[in-house]
Structure 1
Protein backbone atom coordinates (compact mmCIF):
# COMPACT_ATOMS: atom_id res chain seq x y z
CA UNK A 1 0.00 0.00 0.00
CA UNK A 2 1.13 3.57 -0.64
CA UNK A 3 1.86 5.99 2.20
CA UNK A 4 -1.00 7.49 4.17
CA UNK A 5 -0.87 10.87 5.94
CA UNK A 6 -2.69 10.09 9.17
CA UNK A 7 -5.05 12.88 10.28
CA UNK A 8 -5.50 12.91 14.07
CA UNK A 9 -9.28 13.48 13.92
CA UNK A 10 -9.97 10.82 11.28
CA UNK A 11 -11.38 11.21 7.76
CA UNK A 12 -13.90 9.41 5.56
CA UNK A 13 -13.68 10.39 1.90
CA UNK A 14 -16.69 10.09 -0.37
CA UNK A 15 -17.72 10.53 -3.98
CA UNK A 16 -20.37 9.44 -6.49
CA UNK A 17 -20.89 9.01 -10.20
CA UNK A 18 -22.26 7.11 -13.18
CA UNK A 19 -21.20 6.83 -16.82
CA UNK A 20 -17.77 8.11 -15.83
CA UNK A 21 -16.07 6.50 -18.83
CA UNK A 22 -18.52 8.10 -21.24
CA UNK A 23 -17.74 11.46 -19.69
CA UNK A 24 -13.98 10.73 -19.78
CA UNK A 25 -13.52 11.71 -16.13
CA UNK A 26 -10.31 10.87 -14.22
CA UNK A 27 -12.22 9.21 -11.38
CA UNK A 28 -9.36 6.97 -10.24
CA UNK A 29 -7.06 9.98 -10.02
CA UNK A 30 -9.73 11.96 -8.18
CA UNK A 31 -10.18 9.29 -5.52
CA UNK A 32 -6.47 8.54 -5.25
CA UNK A 33 -5.70 12.23 -4.73
CA UNK A 34 -7.60 12.33 -1.41
CA UNK A 35 -6.98 8.77 -0.16
CA UNK A 36 -3.65 9.58 1.58
CA UNK A 37 -5.67 11.64 4.09
CA UNK A 38 -8.52 9.14 4.49
CA UNK A 39 -9.11 6.31 6.94
CA UNK A 40 -12.15 5.13 4.94
CA UNK A 41 -13.68 5.92 1.56
CA UNK A 42 -17.25 5.60 0.24
CA UNK A 43 -18.22 5.64 -3.44
CA UNK A 44 -21.87 5.73 -4.54
CA UNK A 45 -21.73 4.02 -7.95
CA UNK A 46 -24.79 4.70 -10.03
CA UNK A 47 -26.16 2.09 -12.43
CA UNK A 48 -24.31 2.90 -15.65
CA UNK A 49 -24.20 2.29 -19.38
CA UNK A 50 -20.43 1.86 -19.27
CA UNK A 51 -17.79 0.29 -17.00
CA UNK A 52 -18.04 2.80 -14.15
CA UNK A 53 -18.87 0.18 -11.50
CA UNK A 54 -16.09 -2.12 -12.73
CA UNK A 55 -13.58 0.76 -12.60
CA UNK A 56 -14.47 1.51 -8.99
CA UNK A 57 -14.28 -2.19 -8.07
CA UNK A 58 -10.81 -2.43 -9.62
CA UNK A 59 -9.73 0.70 -7.77
CA UNK A 60 -10.99 -0.68 -4.48
CA UNK A 61 -8.77 -3.76 -4.84
CA UNK A 62 -5.67 -2.01 -6.21
CA UNK A 63 -2.55 -3.13 -4.35
CA UNK A 64 -1.09 0.35 -4.01
CA UNK A 65 -3.98 2.09 -2.21
CA UNK A 66 -3.17 3.60 1.22
CA UNK A 67 -6.25 1.93 2.75
CA UNK A 68 -7.22 -1.77 2.65
CA UNK A 69 -10.18 -2.84 0.44
CA UNK A 70 -12.42 -3.48 3.46
CA UNK A 71 -12.25 0.26 4.18
CA UNK A 72 -13.32 1.16 0.65
CA UNK A 73 -17.12 0.97 0.61
CA UNK A 74 -19.06 0.84 -2.66
CA UNK A 75 -22.75 1.73 -2.50
CA UNK A 76 -24.63 0.83 -5.68
CA UNK A 77 -27.46 3.22 -6.53
CA UNK A 78 -30.06 3.94 -9.21
CA UNK A 79 -30.42 7.56 -10.22
CA UNK A 80 -33.99 8.93 -10.18
CA UNK A 81 -35.40 10.58 -13.32
CA UNK A 82 -34.96 14.17 -12.11
CA UNK A 83 -34.23 16.58 -14.97
CA UNK A 84 -34.11 20.06 -13.50
CA UNK A 85 -31.20 22.20 -12.25
CA UNK A 86 -28.87 19.23 -11.75
CA UNK A 87 -30.77 18.25 -8.59
CA UNK A 88 -30.20 14.55 -9.23
CA UNK A 89 -26.48 15.13 -8.68
CA UNK A 90 -27.12 16.41 -5.16
CA UNK A 91 -29.47 13.49 -4.51
CA UNK A 92 -26.73 11.03 -5.42
CA UNK A 93 -24.00 12.96 -3.60
CA UNK A 94 -26.13 12.83 -0.46
CA UNK A 95 -26.40 9.05 -0.78
CA UNK A 96 -22.60 8.93 -0.61
CA UNK A 97 -22.61 11.45 2.24
CA UNK A 98 -25.16 9.42 4.22
CA UNK A 99 -23.02 6.29 3.90
CA UNK A 100 -19.93 8.27 4.91
CA UNK A 101 -21.79 9.62 7.94
CA UNK A 102 -22.57 6.05 9.02
CA UNK A 103 -18.90 5.10 8.75
CA UNK A 104 -17.79 8.25 10.58
CA UNK A 105 -20.24 7.68 13.44
CA UNK A 106 -19.19 4.05 13.82
CA UNK A 107 -15.44 4.71 13.58
CA UNK A 108 -15.34 8.04 15.42
CA UNK A 109 -14.12 10.12 12.44
CA UNK A 110 -14.42 13.92 12.44
CA UNK A 111 -14.15 14.93 8.79
CA UNK A 112 -15.65 13.94 5.47
CA UNK A 113 -13.62 14.67 2.31
CA UNK A 114 -15.96 15.17 -0.66
CA UNK A 115 -14.39 14.85 -4.10
CA UNK A 116 -16.11 14.75 -7.46
CA UNK A 117 -15.04 12.50 -10.32
CA UNK A 118 -13.53 15.34 -12.35
CA UNK A 119 -11.64 16.99 -9.47
CA UNK A 120 -8.09 16.22 -8.33
CA UNK A 121 -6.13 17.47 -5.31
CA UNK A 122 -2.48 18.42 -5.80
CA UNK A 123 -0.06 16.29 -3.77
CA UNK A 124 1.75 19.45 -2.62
CA UNK A 125 -1.43 20.56 -0.83
CA UNK A 126 -1.99 17.40 1.23
CA UNK A 127 0.18 18.55 4.19
CA UNK A 128 -1.67 21.89 4.08
CA UNK A 129 -5.06 20.17 4.23
CA UNK A 130 -3.90 17.81 6.97
CA UNK A 131 -2.78 20.81 9.04
CA UNK A 132 -6.15 22.45 8.55
CA UNK A 133 -8.06 19.32 9.52
CA UNK A 134 -6.00 18.88 12.68
CA UNK A 135 -6.24 22.56 13.66
CA UNK A 136 -9.97 23.04 13.11
CA UNK A 137 -11.08 19.65 14.46
CA UNK A 138 -11.55 20.98 18.00
CA UNK A 139 -13.42 24.09 16.81
CA UNK A 140 -16.93 22.64 16.66
CA UNK A 141 -18.36 25.80 15.11
CA UNK A 142 -16.27 25.22 11.98
CA UNK A 143 -18.41 23.00 9.75
CA UNK A 144 -16.51 23.13 6.49
CA UNK A 145 -13.09 23.80 4.99
CA UNK A 146 -12.95 25.45 1.59
CA UNK A 147 -10.56 25.24 -1.34
CA UNK A 148 -9.43 27.52 -4.15
CA UNK A 149 -10.48 26.36 -7.63
CA UNK A 150 -8.75 26.07 -10.98
CA UNK A 151 -11.32 25.36 -13.71
CA UNK A 152 -9.66 23.96 -16.83
CA UNK A 153 -11.43 24.46 -20.15
CA UNK A 154 -10.84 22.49 -23.36
CA UNK A 155 -7.21 21.69 -22.45
CA UNK A 156 -4.81 21.53 -19.52
CA UNK A 157 -3.19 24.86 -20.36
CA UNK A 158 -6.29 27.04 -20.05
CA UNK A 159 -8.43 28.08 -17.09
CA UNK A 160 -11.59 30.15 -16.90
CA UNK A 161 -11.04 32.76 -14.17
CA UNK A 162 -14.72 33.80 -14.26
CA UNK A 163 -16.01 30.51 -12.88
CA UNK A 164 -16.55 30.16 -9.12
CA UNK A 165 -13.35 30.54 -7.11
CA UNK A 166 -14.00 28.54 -3.96
CA UNK A 167 -16.00 25.63 -2.63
CA UNK A 168 -16.03 23.43 0.47
CA UNK A 169 -14.72 19.92 0.09
CA UNK A 170 -14.06 19.04 3.74
CA UNK A 171 -17.15 18.72 5.97
CA UNK A 172 -17.59 18.05 9.66
CA UNK A 173 -19.36 14.75 10.08
CA UNK A 174 -22.38 14.64 12.40
CA UNK A 175 -23.30 18.27 11.65
CA UNK A 176 -26.45 17.47 9.64
CA UNK A 177 -24.91 19.02 6.53
CA UNK A 178 -26.34 18.25 3.10
CA UNK A 179 -25.02 18.56 -0.44
CA UNK A 180 -26.94 21.39 -2.10
CA UNK A 181 -27.93 22.57 -5.57
CA UNK A 182 -26.25 20.62 -8.38
CA UNK A 183 -23.87 18.94 -5.90
CA UNK A 184 -21.31 21.73 -6.03
CA UNK A 185 -20.92 21.61 -2.27
CA UNK A 186 -22.37 21.29 1.24
CA UNK A 187 -24.77 23.52 3.09
CA UNK A 188 -26.45 23.86 6.46
CA UNK A 189 -30.24 23.58 6.05
CA UNK A 190 -30.59 24.38 9.75
CA UNK A 191 -28.55 27.62 9.55
CA UNK A 192 -30.31 30.23 11.66
CA UNK A 193 -29.72 33.11 9.25
CA UNK A 194 -30.88 31.12 6.18
CA UNK A 195 -28.46 33.17 4.09
CA UNK A 196 -28.28 31.35 0.75
CA UNK A 197 -30.08 28.52 2.58
CA UNK A 198 -26.90 28.02 4.57
CA UNK A 199 -24.82 27.25 1.45
CA UNK A 200 -21.27 26.98 2.82
CA UNK A 201 -19.65 27.65 -0.54
CA UNK A 202 -21.10 31.14 -0.93
CA UNK A 203 -19.79 32.95 2.15
CA UNK A 204 -17.71 32.41 5.26
CA UNK A 205 -20.96 32.85 7.21
CA UNK A 206 -19.68 33.79 10.67
CA UNK A 207 -17.03 31.23 11.63
CA UNK A 208 -18.67 28.19 10.04
CA UNK A 209 -16.20 28.04 7.13
CA UNK A 210 -12.41 28.29 7.08
CA UNK A 211 -9.77 27.63 4.46
CA UNK A 212 -8.38 24.10 4.34
CA UNK A 213 -5.19 25.04 6.17
CA UNK A 214 -3.98 26.08 9.59
CA UNK A 215 -4.46 29.84 10.25
CA UNK A 216 -0.74 30.61 9.99
CA UNK A 217 -0.56 29.26 6.42
CA UNK A 218 -0.64 31.77 3.60
CA UNK A 219 -1.17 29.23 0.82
CA UNK A 220 -4.60 27.92 -0.12
CA UNK A 221 -5.30 24.29 -0.87
CA UNK A 222 -6.55 23.87 -4.42
CA UNK A 223 -9.01 21.77 -6.38
CA UNK A 224 -8.05 21.11 -10.00
CA UNK A 225 -11.34 20.82 -11.87
CA UNK A 226 -10.93 18.99 -15.20
CA UNK A 227 -14.53 18.28 -16.20
CA UNK A 228 -14.47 20.71 -19.11
CA UNK A 229 -11.19 19.51 -20.63
CA UNK A 230 -12.70 18.12 -23.81
CA UNK A 231 -12.27 17.77 -27.53
CA UNK A 232 -14.99 19.44 -29.59
CA UNK A 233 -16.84 16.11 -29.99
CA UNK A 234 -16.54 15.25 -26.29
CA UNK A 235 -17.72 18.73 -25.34
CA UNK A 236 -20.87 18.29 -27.42
CA UNK A 237 -21.53 14.93 -25.77
CA UNK A 238 -21.13 16.41 -22.29
CA UNK A 239 -23.49 19.27 -23.12
CA UNK A 240 -26.12 16.72 -24.15
CA UNK A 241 -25.80 15.14 -20.71
CA UNK A 242 -25.89 18.53 -18.98
CA UNK A 243 -28.98 19.61 -20.91
CA UNK A 244 -30.81 16.45 -19.86
CA UNK A 245 -29.92 16.68 -16.17
CA UNK A 246 -30.38 20.45 -15.84
CA UNK A 247 -33.09 21.33 -18.34
CA UNK A 248 -34.56 18.08 -19.68
CA UNK A 249 -38.16 19.30 -19.39
CA UNK A 250 -37.60 22.73 -20.97
CA UNK A 251 -38.00 23.88 -24.56
CA UNK A 252 -34.98 23.77 -26.89
CA UNK A 253 -34.86 27.57 -26.97
CA UNK A 254 -34.83 27.82 -23.19
CA UNK A 255 -32.18 25.09 -22.94
CA UNK A 256 -29.90 27.05 -25.25
CA UNK A 257 -30.45 30.28 -23.34
CA UNK A 258 -29.67 28.67 -20.00
CA UNK A 259 -26.66 26.80 -21.36
CA UNK A 260 -25.13 30.02 -22.64
CA UNK A 261 -25.93 31.80 -19.39
CA UNK A 262 -24.53 29.08 -17.11
CA UNK A 263 -21.52 27.88 -19.06
CA UNK A 264 -20.87 30.58 -21.62
CA UNK A 265 -19.48 29.74 -25.02
CA UNK A 266 -16.28 27.89 -24.14
CA UNK A 267 -14.92 27.67 -27.69
CA UNK A 268 -15.76 31.26 -28.56
CA UNK A 269 -14.31 32.53 -25.27
CA UNK A 270 -11.19 30.35 -25.40
CA UNK A 271 -8.94 33.16 -26.76
CA UNK A 272 -9.64 35.39 -23.74
CA UNK A 273 -9.18 32.75 -21.03
CA UNK A 274 -6.13 32.57 -18.79
CA UNK A 275 -3.11 30.36 -19.50
CA UNK A 276 -2.08 28.11 -16.63
CA UNK A 277 1.65 28.05 -15.84
CA UNK A 278 1.78 26.17 -12.51
CA UNK A 279 2.26 22.43 -12.02
CA UNK A 280 -0.56 19.89 -12.23
CA UNK A 281 -1.04 16.98 -9.82
CA UNK A 282 1.37 14.18 -10.71
CA UNK A 283 -1.55 11.78 -10.94
CA UNK A 284 -2.71 13.62 -14.06
CA UNK A 285 0.52 13.24 -16.03
CA UNK A 286 -0.73 10.61 -18.49
CA UNK A 287 -3.99 12.47 -19.10
CA UNK A 288 -2.07 15.64 -19.88
CA UNK A 289 0.40 13.86 -22.18
CA UNK A 290 -2.48 12.37 -24.21
CA UNK A 291 -4.43 15.60 -24.69
CA UNK A 292 -3.26 18.32 -27.08
CA UNK A 293 -3.73 22.03 -26.57
CA UNK A 294 -7.09 22.98 -28.07
CA UNK A 295 -5.72 25.87 -30.13
CA UNK A 296 -2.87 28.33 -30.37
CA UNK A 297 -4.14 31.85 -29.75
CA UNK A 298 -2.52 35.29 -29.35
CA UNK A 299 -1.95 36.72 -25.90
CA UNK A 300 -5.33 37.63 -24.40
CA UNK A 301 -3.98 41.04 -23.34
CA UNK A 302 -3.90 41.92 -27.05
CA UNK A 303 -7.52 40.89 -27.56
CA UNK A 304 -10.20 43.64 -27.26
CA UNK A 305 -12.76 40.97 -26.26
CA UNK A 306 -10.77 40.33 -23.09
CA UNK A 307 -11.27 43.92 -21.95
CA UNK A 308 -14.97 43.75 -22.81
CA UNK A 309 -15.26 40.68 -20.58
CA UNK A 310 -13.43 42.48 -17.76
CA UNK A 311 -15.79 45.42 -18.06
CA UNK A 312 -18.82 43.10 -17.86
CA UNK A 313 -17.65 40.74 -15.12
CA UNK A 314 -14.54 42.28 -13.54
CA UNK A 315 -10.95 41.06 -13.59
CA UNK A 316 -10.55 37.73 -11.78
CA UNK A 317 -7.09 36.72 -12.83
Structure 2
Protein backbone atom coordinates (compact mmCIF):
# COMPACT_ATOMS: atom_id res chain seq x y z
CA UNK A 1 0.00 0.00 0.00
CA UNK A 2 1.25 3.45 -0.91
CA UNK A 3 -0.17 6.54 0.79
CA UNK A 4 0.14 10.06 -0.59
CA UNK A 5 -0.35 13.14 1.55
CA UNK A 6 -1.17 16.48 0.02
CA UNK A 7 -2.05 20.08 0.79
CA UNK A 8 -1.80 23.60 -0.61
CA UNK A 9 -0.30 26.69 1.02
CA UNK A 10 0.29 30.38 0.48
CA UNK A 11 1.55 32.93 3.01
CA UNK A 12 1.43 30.24 5.69
CA UNK A 13 3.74 32.12 8.07
CA UNK A 14 2.10 35.50 7.51
CA UNK A 15 -1.33 34.03 8.27
CA UNK A 16 -0.26 32.06 11.33
CA UNK A 17 -0.80 28.50 10.12
CA UNK A 18 0.97 25.60 11.88
CA UNK A 19 1.73 24.29 8.41
CA UNK A 20 5.17 22.87 9.22
CA UNK A 21 3.67 20.90 12.10
CA UNK A 22 0.86 19.74 9.82
CA UNK A 23 3.32 18.48 7.22
CA UNK A 24 5.44 16.77 9.86
CA UNK A 25 2.39 14.89 11.08
CA UNK A 26 1.49 13.83 7.51
CA UNK A 27 4.99 12.46 7.09
CA UNK A 28 4.35 10.06 9.97
CA UNK A 29 1.72 8.31 7.82
CA UNK A 30 2.57 8.97 4.17
CA UNK A 31 5.05 7.63 1.64
CA UNK A 32 5.02 10.93 -0.27
CA UNK A 33 3.64 14.40 0.48
CA UNK A 34 2.72 16.79 -2.34
CA UNK A 35 2.59 20.49 -1.44
CA UNK A 36 1.22 23.08 -3.87
CA UNK A 37 2.72 26.40 -2.75
CA UNK A 38 1.32 29.58 -4.22
CA UNK A 39 3.58 32.55 -4.78
CA UNK A 40 3.91 34.00 -1.28
CA UNK A 41 4.98 37.21 0.42
CA UNK A 42 6.72 35.38 3.25
CA UNK A 43 9.04 32.42 3.86
CA UNK A 44 6.51 29.62 3.30
CA UNK A 45 8.38 28.05 0.39
CA UNK A 46 11.75 28.25 2.14
CA UNK A 47 10.42 26.73 5.36
CA UNK A 48 8.82 23.78 3.57
CA UNK A 49 12.06 23.16 1.66
CA UNK A 50 13.96 23.29 4.97
CA UNK A 51 12.07 20.23 6.25
CA UNK A 52 14.50 18.47 3.90
CA UNK A 53 12.59 15.22 3.55
CA UNK A 54 12.89 13.42 0.19
CA UNK A 55 9.25 12.37 0.43
CA UNK A 56 8.10 15.98 0.03
CA UNK A 57 7.38 17.12 -3.52
CA UNK A 58 6.75 20.84 -3.99
CA UNK A 59 4.71 22.32 -6.84
CA UNK A 60 5.05 26.10 -7.15
CA UNK A 61 1.83 27.70 -8.35
CA UNK A 62 0.32 31.06 -9.26
CA UNK A 63 -3.16 31.73 -7.89
CA UNK A 64 -5.88 33.08 -10.15
CA UNK A 65 -6.61 36.42 -8.45
CA UNK A 66 -9.72 36.89 -10.57
CA UNK A 67 -11.37 33.78 -9.14
CA UNK A 68 -13.57 35.26 -6.42
CA UNK A 69 -16.53 32.88 -6.27
CA UNK A 70 -17.20 30.60 -3.28
CA UNK A 71 -13.59 29.73 -2.62
CA UNK A 72 -13.09 28.02 -5.96
CA UNK A 73 -9.44 29.09 -6.11
CA UNK A 74 -8.92 26.81 -3.10
CA UNK A 75 -10.46 23.94 -5.06
CA UNK A 76 -8.05 24.64 -7.90
CA UNK A 77 -5.02 24.59 -5.64
CA UNK A 78 -6.17 21.51 -3.73
CA UNK A 79 -6.73 19.58 -6.94
CA UNK A 80 -3.37 20.61 -8.40
CA UNK A 81 -1.81 18.77 -5.47
CA UNK A 82 -4.23 15.83 -5.43
CA UNK A 83 -3.96 15.19 -9.17
CA UNK A 84 -0.21 14.59 -8.82
CA UNK A 85 -0.51 12.09 -5.96
CA UNK A 86 0.61 8.59 -6.92
CA UNK A 87 -0.54 6.54 -3.92
CA UNK A 88 -3.44 4.14 -3.47
CA UNK A 89 -4.89 6.62 -0.99
CA UNK A 90 -4.58 10.43 -0.91
CA UNK A 91 -4.58 12.01 2.57
CA UNK A 92 -5.47 15.70 2.65
CA UNK A 93 -4.73 17.99 5.58
CA UNK A 94 -5.34 21.71 5.70
CA UNK A 95 -2.44 23.87 6.88
CA UNK A 96 -4.03 24.24 10.33
CA UNK A 97 -4.77 20.53 10.86
CA UNK A 98 -2.52 18.02 12.61
CA UNK A 99 -2.74 14.31 13.38
CA UNK A 100 -1.62 12.78 16.67
CA UNK A 101 1.34 10.42 16.81
CA UNK A 102 -0.76 8.00 18.87
CA UNK A 103 -3.16 7.60 15.93
CA UNK A 104 -0.64 6.82 13.18
CA UNK A 105 -0.95 3.03 13.49
CA UNK A 106 -4.76 3.23 13.53
CA UNK A 107 -4.84 5.43 10.40
CA UNK A 108 -2.54 3.07 8.50
CA UNK A 109 -4.55 0.08 9.69
CA UNK A 110 -7.90 1.39 8.47
CA UNK A 111 -6.43 2.12 5.03
CA UNK A 112 -4.92 -1.36 4.89
CA UNK A 113 -8.22 -2.91 5.97
CA UNK A 114 -10.20 -1.27 3.17
CA UNK A 115 -7.51 -1.17 0.49
CA UNK A 116 -9.15 -3.92 -1.58
CA UNK A 117 -12.74 -3.01 -0.73
CA UNK A 118 -13.99 -0.70 -3.52
CA UNK A 119 -17.16 0.02 -1.56
CA UNK A 120 -15.04 2.24 0.71
CA UNK A 121 -13.98 5.33 -1.21
CA UNK A 122 -12.84 7.51 1.68
CA UNK A 123 -11.87 7.57 5.36
CA UNK A 124 -13.68 10.00 7.66
CA UNK A 125 -12.22 11.43 10.85
CA UNK A 126 -13.65 12.87 14.02
CA UNK A 127 -12.67 16.47 14.82
CA UNK A 128 -11.29 18.54 17.65
CA UNK A 129 -12.04 22.17 16.73
CA UNK A 130 -9.98 24.23 19.17
CA UNK A 131 -11.25 27.73 19.79
CA UNK A 132 -9.73 30.76 21.48
CA UNK A 133 -7.07 28.77 23.32
CA UNK A 134 -5.64 25.22 23.24
CA UNK A 135 -7.73 24.18 26.25
CA UNK A 136 -11.17 24.63 24.67
CA UNK A 137 -12.99 22.90 21.82
CA UNK A 138 -16.15 24.05 20.04
CA UNK A 139 -19.02 21.55 20.06
CA UNK A 140 -22.05 22.58 18.03
CA UNK A 141 -23.67 21.83 14.65
CA UNK A 142 -21.81 24.89 13.33
CA UNK A 143 -18.58 22.89 13.63
CA UNK A 144 -18.56 19.67 11.59
CA UNK A 145 -18.06 16.66 13.83
CA UNK A 146 -16.72 14.32 11.17
CA UNK A 147 -15.23 14.83 7.74
CA UNK A 148 -13.46 12.70 5.12
CA UNK A 149 -9.76 13.49 4.83
CA UNK A 150 -8.54 10.41 2.91
CA UNK A 151 -9.84 9.59 -0.57
CA UNK A 152 -9.21 6.54 -2.75
CA UNK A 153 -6.82 7.76 -5.42
CA UNK A 154 -8.26 5.62 -8.23
CA UNK A 155 -11.73 7.21 -8.44
CA UNK A 156 -12.99 10.37 -10.12
CA UNK A 157 -13.17 12.88 -7.30
CA UNK A 158 -12.83 16.62 -6.90
CA UNK A 159 -13.50 19.28 -4.27
CA UNK A 160 -15.62 22.08 -5.79
CA UNK A 161 -15.19 24.50 -2.88
CA UNK A 162 -11.85 23.21 -1.70
CA UNK A 163 -12.91 21.32 1.43
CA UNK A 164 -15.30 18.43 0.77
CA UNK A 165 -15.04 15.89 -2.04
CA UNK A 166 -17.54 14.94 -4.67
CA UNK A 167 -17.32 11.62 -6.53
CA UNK A 168 -18.29 11.76 -10.21
CA UNK A 169 -20.05 8.77 -11.74
CA UNK A 170 -20.71 8.41 -15.49
CA UNK A 171 -20.52 12.18 -15.98
CA UNK A 172 -23.55 12.69 -13.81
CA UNK A 173 -23.99 15.05 -10.90
CA UNK A 174 -21.48 14.31 -8.15
CA UNK A 175 -22.20 12.71 -4.79
CA UNK A 176 -20.39 12.57 -1.48
CA UNK A 177 -17.95 9.66 -1.11
CA UNK A 178 -18.80 6.42 0.67
CA UNK A 179 -16.56 6.28 3.72
CA UNK A 180 -15.31 4.15 6.57
CA UNK A 181 -14.66 5.73 9.95
CA UNK A 182 -11.08 6.24 11.11
CA UNK A 183 -12.09 6.25 14.80
CA UNK A 184 -9.53 8.94 15.58
CA UNK A 185 -9.54 12.74 15.36
CA UNK A 186 -8.02 15.54 13.36
CA UNK A 187 -6.69 18.37 15.56
CA UNK A 188 -7.90 21.64 14.03
CA UNK A 189 -5.94 24.67 15.27
CA UNK A 190 -7.11 27.40 12.90
CA UNK A 191 -9.09 29.20 15.58
CA UNK A 192 -6.35 29.39 18.19
CA UNK A 193 -3.79 31.31 16.14
CA UNK A 194 -3.15 34.83 17.45
CA UNK A 195 -5.89 37.39 16.94
CA UNK A 196 -3.53 39.48 14.81
CA UNK A 197 -2.82 36.55 12.47
CA UNK A 198 -6.52 35.69 12.28
CA UNK A 199 -7.36 39.28 11.37
CA UNK A 200 -4.77 39.18 8.59
CA UNK A 201 -6.19 35.90 7.35
CA UNK A 202 -9.67 37.43 7.14
CA UNK A 203 -8.26 40.41 5.25
CA UNK A 204 -6.48 38.26 2.67
CA UNK A 205 -9.04 35.54 2.01
CA UNK A 206 -12.31 37.51 1.98
CA UNK A 207 -11.96 38.39 -1.71
CA UNK A 208 -11.97 34.70 -2.69
CA UNK A 209 -15.46 34.38 -1.18
CA UNK A 210 -16.83 37.57 -2.76
CA UNK A 211 -17.27 39.48 0.48
CA UNK A 212 -15.58 42.28 2.37
CA UNK A 213 -13.28 41.38 5.28
CA UNK A 214 -14.93 41.54 8.69
CA UNK A 215 -13.28 42.54 11.99
CA UNK A 216 -12.17 39.49 13.96
CA UNK A 217 -12.86 39.09 17.67
CA UNK A 218 -12.52 35.69 19.37
CA UNK A 219 -14.68 36.89 22.28
CA UNK A 220 -17.78 37.03 20.08
CA UNK A 221 -18.95 33.46 20.47
CA UNK A 222 -21.63 31.48 22.25
CA UNK A 223 -19.62 30.34 25.28
CA UNK A 224 -22.02 27.48 25.98
CA UNK A 225 -20.65 25.52 23.01
CA UNK A 226 -17.09 25.58 24.38
CA UNK A 227 -15.94 22.55 26.32
CA UNK A 228 -12.72 21.78 28.15
CA UNK A 229 -10.23 19.67 26.19
CA UNK A 230 -8.99 16.84 28.40
CA UNK A 231 -6.74 15.00 25.97
CA UNK A 232 -3.15 15.59 24.86
CA UNK A 233 -1.98 17.63 21.92
CA UNK A 234 0.21 16.09 19.20
CA UNK A 235 3.88 16.38 20.08
CA UNK A 236 4.67 18.18 16.82
CA UNK A 237 2.13 20.91 17.68
CA UNK A 238 3.03 21.57 21.30
CA UNK A 239 5.84 24.08 20.68
CA UNK A 240 3.70 25.96 18.16
CA UNK A 241 0.88 26.15 20.68
CA UNK A 242 3.23 27.57 23.31
CA UNK A 243 4.73 30.13 20.94
CA UNK A 244 1.92 31.18 18.62
CA UNK A 245 -1.50 30.34 20.03
CA UNK A 246 -3.72 33.20 21.22
CA UNK A 247 -2.64 33.85 24.86
CA UNK A 248 -5.64 35.83 26.08
CA UNK A 249 -9.12 34.51 25.39
CA UNK A 250 -12.27 35.41 27.30
CA UNK A 251 -15.74 34.94 25.83
CA UNK A 252 -17.92 38.04 25.97
CA UNK A 253 -20.62 37.36 28.63
CA UNK A 254 -22.88 39.90 26.91
CA UNK A 255 -22.69 38.16 23.55
CA UNK A 256 -26.13 37.72 21.97
CA UNK A 257 -26.94 34.63 19.95
CA UNK A 258 -27.58 34.96 16.25
CA UNK A 259 -30.62 33.36 14.63
CA UNK A 260 -28.34 30.64 13.28
CA UNK A 261 -26.94 29.90 16.73
CA UNK A 262 -30.44 29.72 18.18
CA UNK A 263 -31.31 27.12 15.54
CA UNK A 264 -28.21 25.17 16.52
CA UNK A 265 -29.28 25.20 20.17
CA UNK A 266 -32.64 23.77 19.18
CA UNK A 267 -30.95 21.13 17.06
CA UNK A 268 -28.72 20.09 19.95
CA UNK A 269 -31.77 19.71 22.19
CA UNK A 270 -33.39 17.47 19.59
CA UNK A 271 -30.21 15.41 19.35
CA UNK A 272 -30.20 14.91 23.12
CA UNK A 273 -33.81 13.73 23.08
CA UNK A 274 -33.48 11.48 20.03
CA UNK A 275 -29.97 10.23 20.74
CA UNK A 276 -28.97 11.00 17.16
CA UNK A 277 -26.46 13.15 15.32
CA UNK A 278 -28.59 15.41 13.10
CA UNK A 279 -25.77 17.41 11.53
CA UNK A 280 -25.01 17.32 7.82
CA UNK A 281 -22.39 14.81 6.72
CA UNK A 282 -20.24 15.27 3.63
CA UNK A 283 -19.93 11.50 3.23
CA UNK A 284 -22.05 8.38 3.40
CA UNK A 285 -20.90 5.99 6.12
CA UNK A 286 -20.61 2.43 4.77
CA UNK A 287 -18.23 0.93 7.35
CA UNK A 288 -17.94 1.65 11.06
Could you tell me the TM-score, scaled by structure 2's length? Answer: 0.81
State the Cα distance separating 1:235 from its structure 2 match.
2.5
1:246 lines up with 2:223 in the alignment: no
Larger relative strand fraction: 2
Contact 1:271 1:297 in 2 (8 A): yes
- Counterparts in 2 of 1:227-306, with a 5 A limit? 227-248=190-211, 252=212, 266-269=218-221, 271-272=223-224, 273-290=226-243, 291=245, 293-296=247-250
- Counterparts in 2 of 1:3-18, with a 5 A limit? 9-18=1-10
Q: Look up the SS of the partner of 1:267 in the other structure.
A: coil
**CA shift in 2, pair 1:93/1:297, >3 Å:** closer
For structure 1, the residue ranges without an aligned partner over 5 or more in a row are 1-8, 62-67, 201-207, 213-219
Equivalent in the alignment of 1:210: 180
- Counterparts in 2 of 1:176-191, with a 5 A limit? 176-181=156-161, 183-190=162-169
Contact 1:14 1:113 in 2 (8 A): yes
For 1:50 and 1:160, the matched residues in 2 are separated by 31
Q: Look up the SS of the partner of 2:126 in the other structure.
A: strand
For 2:60 and 2:49, the matched residues in 1 are separated by 11
For 2:35 and 2:232, the matched residues in 1 are separated by 28
Deviations 1:268-303 (A, max 9, x none): 2163322212111111111222235433569x9xx9
Contact 1:10 1:39 in 2 (8 A): yes
**CA shift in 2, pair 1:308/1:76, >3 Å:** closer
Runs of 4+ in 1 over 6 A off after TM superposition: none
Contact 2:132 2:246 in 1 (8 A): no
Contact 2:16 2:194 in 1 (8 A): no
Equivalent in the alignment of 1:167: 147
Larger relative helix fraction: 1
Could you tell me the TM-score, scaled by structure 1's length? Answer: 0.74
> Over aligned residues, Cα RMSD in angstroms?
2.9
For 2:45 and 2:251, the matched residues in 1 are separated by 39
For structure 2, the residue ranges without an aligned partner over 5 or more in a row are 273-288
